[in-house]
Amino acid sequence: MSLPLSGLRAWIVQRITAVYVGAFLVYMALHFSLAPPASFEQWRAWVAAPAASIAVGLFFVALLMHAWVGVRDVVLDYVHPAGVRLAVLTVVGVTLVAEGLWALKMLFGAVP
């Protein structure tokens, strides 16, 4: 069985990204409930810290990968005409890339 041709690779990516997204959201909820930033400048300084910006960047990468694998699997399972399938996957892919670029712009905009 070839790993790229099986559903195992997608399953592994889906599980790893789900664990990271879940752990990051729990961390963020705890962090901001215990020590909420008093101003936008404090929030910006927190995001500009190297560890936080890397963690937030990884969060967006994991979130977008998780969304791609999930939506792609649903489309492959339920959209049968090849042209429609290609169109739907293209729209989803372009949307996810645009959201990733927006997240990148947001992260670099937070760094003073």
Domain edges within the chain: 8-110
Give me the mean pLDDT over the 91-106 stretch: 94
User: Tens of pLDDT along 30-83?
Assistant: 999 998 888 888 888 888 888 998 999 999 999 999 999 999 999 999 999 999
Query: In the CATH scheme, what architecture does the domain 8-110 have?
Result: Up-down Bundle (1.20)
pLDDT at residue 107, rounded to an integer: 84
Please give the model's pTM, rounded to 2 decimal places. Answer: 0.85
Residues 62, 17 contacting (CB under 8 angstroms): yes
Using the structure block, give the residue that is written with the tokens 């963020």. 28
SS3 72: helix
